[in-house]
Amino acid sequence: MEYRIADTFTSSLAKLTGEEQKVAKTTAFDLQLNPATPSLQFHKLDKAKDPNFWSIRVTRDLRIIVHRTGTSLLLCYVAHHDDAYQWAERRRLEVHPKTGAAQLVELRERIQDFSSRYPEAFKAARPIFAAPTKPPLLQYVSEGTLLAYGVPQEWLADARQATSEDQLLEIASHLPAEAAEALLNLATGIKPPVPEPLAAGTDPFDHPDALRRFRVMKNVEELAAALEYPWERWAVFLHPGQRQLVEKEFSGPARVSGSAGTGKTIVALHRAVHLARKSPGCRLLLTTFSEALANVLRARLRVLISSEPRLGESIEVQAMDAVGRRLYGAKYGRAKLAPVEQLNDLLQQASSAAGNHSFSARFLASEWDQVVDSWQLTTWEAYRDVPRLGRRVRLTEAHRRTLWGIFEQVRSGLQQKGLITRAAMFNTLAALYADGAASPFDFIVVDESQDISIAQLRFLAAIGGNRPNGLFFAGDLGQRIFQQPFSWKAVGVDVRGRSTVLKICYRTTHQIRSQADRLLDAELSDVDGNTEERKGTVSLLNGPPPLIKVLPTTEAEIREVAEWLKGLIAAGMQPDEIAIFVRTREQIDRPKAAVQQAGLDSTVLDSQIETVQGRVSIGTMHLAKGLEFRAVVVMACDDGVVPLQARIETVSDESDLEDVYNTERHLLYVACTRSRDQLLVTSTEPPSEFLDDMGR
């Protein structure tokens, strides 16, 4: 007998309390070991339209819904008695007549309340929307086309009647994932690839769409892994449209971008696995800009290759700095990197020795870091002629000559002490491989590429060059929080003609994404003119609108957050599914107090970004990158905190102020979009100006 698990089961399992999850998992294990064991109480669901739906008693009130035939058993859903029975009575396991894929289809005629927002919209007879006042969004899409994308037969007319995004989102929430994605893509003018129908006689569960939703569990160990990592289940299943991108042959460097939650990291992971599988024995680097995010990639890669562990021998997952230190050490000996404090001392000494000038210490530090060191300028002529991309302060040649005298002394001081900077380390390695040294990697896949530095990108270009499939980047300009913009072309990476923007958001609800998107421009461009249009991005998930609360005092804010946390826990959410983010560590005491007042425990995230079971996670916005939670609170969004006044005070030019504001917006955007289901943003009076932009 084949034993399968549906993604609807892991989703419903995640909504139970910790104790309920334990007993549900135990029952699932017993079921796999021996479906005929007498302790398992099967009950046939007489009211279900699908005759193969059964319930299994877990506790007095907890039930597992399974689909049972003579040759297979499918775990479908787990919930309290009434909820579980109602779920089963509204669904049927079908084989789609066009695609041949197995689908759990929600039955239209059993929907009693189509939408709380449209209480009068649902009618017993079609169409469900009365007297449309504007043309349907899909008026030019035929029923045959919708069928080809996997839309169930009984929902075709409804889909073609929707006249607004909200109506279409409501319909999509009742459809299988591949059908919902196709509807939302078509509504925004994107025509995704039509899935190939299965050949006659092929198992419906072998269709690519079905493989995303149903997994065969060969043993208890596989089942345990599937139930232990419900949040990572999406890293195993790849959308067919994304699969084309993963498997595409590129003639040079390629990049995938998109809003938060659109699956860029999923694509990067699958791209790495695809290349490793296609080229046995290759050397592949999967990298990102920080060690914390590298840890996240390692964990997700383990889930992805659990059935092919040997692929891990070809894939090295390391942060960029770790890769640089290892390669530099192997060739030149251990890199003696200059501490920031020592570098600042050298700048101060050189500035004092230069005599009278008007340049502040902050300006000197940023000019060194973002121009001289980043571009590894070693001569007066190079500094005189550099266009200073990302630095808008106008400097005369006389100003530059004064500055170069200061920076030359800093360079000399570093040499005397035997120190180098990270940029110098990567520049040395770039020169080594550009001169013909054997490349350490055949393929490189970079996640969160928007925060890769100039020197790191130069290093990657020297290794990957323009080799086919050599370099693959995943990132989002709207989440750039560590680097100033610079020209990729100037360091040898040209992705023009090989860039793709993902438009479907899988992680964050429509309501959260829409609110967070107000922080960013509808179109973002890099220095090379490549644009990322955010318009047209749609979310598969629906949920409550985000809450934005401005409280009179810190004490009132803490009470508000504490009550919100209590409500989440009362609704069945686990503490480790909740996170609270603040701008800097100076505000950490506020979320700590809120968690304590809610009667919960917390853990403060560090650079390793490790959540702790049973505890609410607390961290800074910078540490939010790469994380996901069911609910997020962004606290202390006060005026002077977001954007951070200390950063604004470092700016010496109005144009540079724009970049500070942009990265501060990106930070708030990143923090808000870590939430899947619920978001609360709070501040005290006066609030951040960004909260008005979000529509408070």
- Give me the DSSP letters along 156-200: HHHHHH--SHHHHHHHHTTS-HHHHHHHHHHHTT--PPPPPPPPT
If we measure between CA atoms, which residue out of 511, 507, 500, 562 comes closest to residue 533?
Answer: 500
Q: Give CA separation, 518 vs 168, 264, 407, 693, 695, in Å.
A: 21, 21, 41, 6, 8
SS3 275: helix
The rounded percent of the chain whose pLDDT value lies above 90 is 49
Report how far residue 635's alpha carbon sits from residue 638's, in angstroms, rounded to the nearest whole number. Answer: 9
If we measure between CA atoms, which residue out of 190, 182, 279, 165 comes closest to residue 500?
Answer: 190
User: Is 544-693 assigned to CATH 3.40.50.300?
Assistant: yes
Report how far residue 15's alpha carbon sits from residue 13's, in angstroms, rounded to the nearest whole number. Answer: 5
For the chain, what is the mean pLDDT?
86
Check pLDDT > 70 for residue 523: no
Convert the pLDDT of each residue in 81-111 to its tens digit: 999 999 999 999 999 999 999 999 999 865 5
Q: Give CA separation, 621 vs 318, 575, 607, 642, 673, in Å.
A: 22, 19, 12, 11, 11
**Residue whose tokens read 């770039």:** 430
The rounded percent of the chain whose pLDDT value lies above 70 is 88
Q: Which two tokens stand for residue 326?
A: 């290892």
Convert the pLDDT of each residue in 391-447 to its tens digit: 555 678 888 899 999 999 999 999 999 999 999 999 999 999 999 999 999 999 999
Mean pLDDT in residue range 599-612: 82
Report how far residue 51's alpha carbon sits from residue 146's, in angstroms, rounded to the nearest whole number. Answer: 27
Give the helix/strand (H/E) hosting 502. Answer: strand 499-502
CA 233 to chain centre: 14
Mean pLDDT in residue range 257-273: 90
Query: What share of residues in the chain are helix, strand, coil (percent, to 5)?
Result: 45, 20, 40
Mean pLDDT in residue range 450-460: 92
Report how far residue 615's alpha carbon sits from residue 84's, in angstroms, rounded to the nearest whole number. Answer: 28
Out of 271-275, 385-389, 630-634, 671-675, which region has the weakest mean confidence (pLDDT)?
385-389
Amino acid at 248: K
Residue range 1-101+195-228, CATH number: 3.30.2310.20
Out of 58-67, 120-129, 349-358, 423-432, which region has the weakest mean confidence (pLDDT)?
120-129
Question: Which of the pair, 222 or 493, is modelled with greater confidence?
Answer: 493
Convert the pLDDT of each residue in 366-376 to its tens digit: 889 888 998 89
Report how far residue 187's alpha carbon sits from residue 189's, in angstroms, rounded to the nearest whole number. Answer: 6
User: Is 234-331+425-539 assigned to CATH 3.40.50.300?
Assistant: yes
Amino acid at 100: G
Report how far residue 419's alpha carbon sits from residue 413's, in angstroms, rounded to the nearest whole number. Answer: 9
If we measure between CA atoms, which residue out of 238, 124, 115, 111 comes closest to residue 177?
Answer: 238
Contacts of residue 246, defined as CB under 8 A and 6 or more positions apart, other chains included, come to: 238, 267, 270, 271, 274
Check pLDDT > 80 for residue 536: no
Report how far residue 660's alpha carbon sits from residue 663's, in angstroms, rounded to the nearest whole number. Answer: 5
pLDDT of residue 357: 87
Convert the pLDDT of each residue in 278-334 to its tens digit: 999 999 999 998 888 898 899 889 878 877 889 999 999 999 999 999 999 999 999
Reported pTM = 0.74
Pick from 29-33, 36-40, 84-88, 202-206 the range whose average pLDDT is largest: 84-88
Out of 139-153, 412-426, 523-537, which region has the weakest mean confidence (pLDDT)?
523-537
Mean pLDDT in residue range 443-470: 92
Question: Which of the pair, 128 or 296, is modelled with greater confidence?
Answer: 296
**Residue whose tokens read 């724009």:** 658
At residue 332, φ and ψ (nearest 5 deg) are: -120, -5
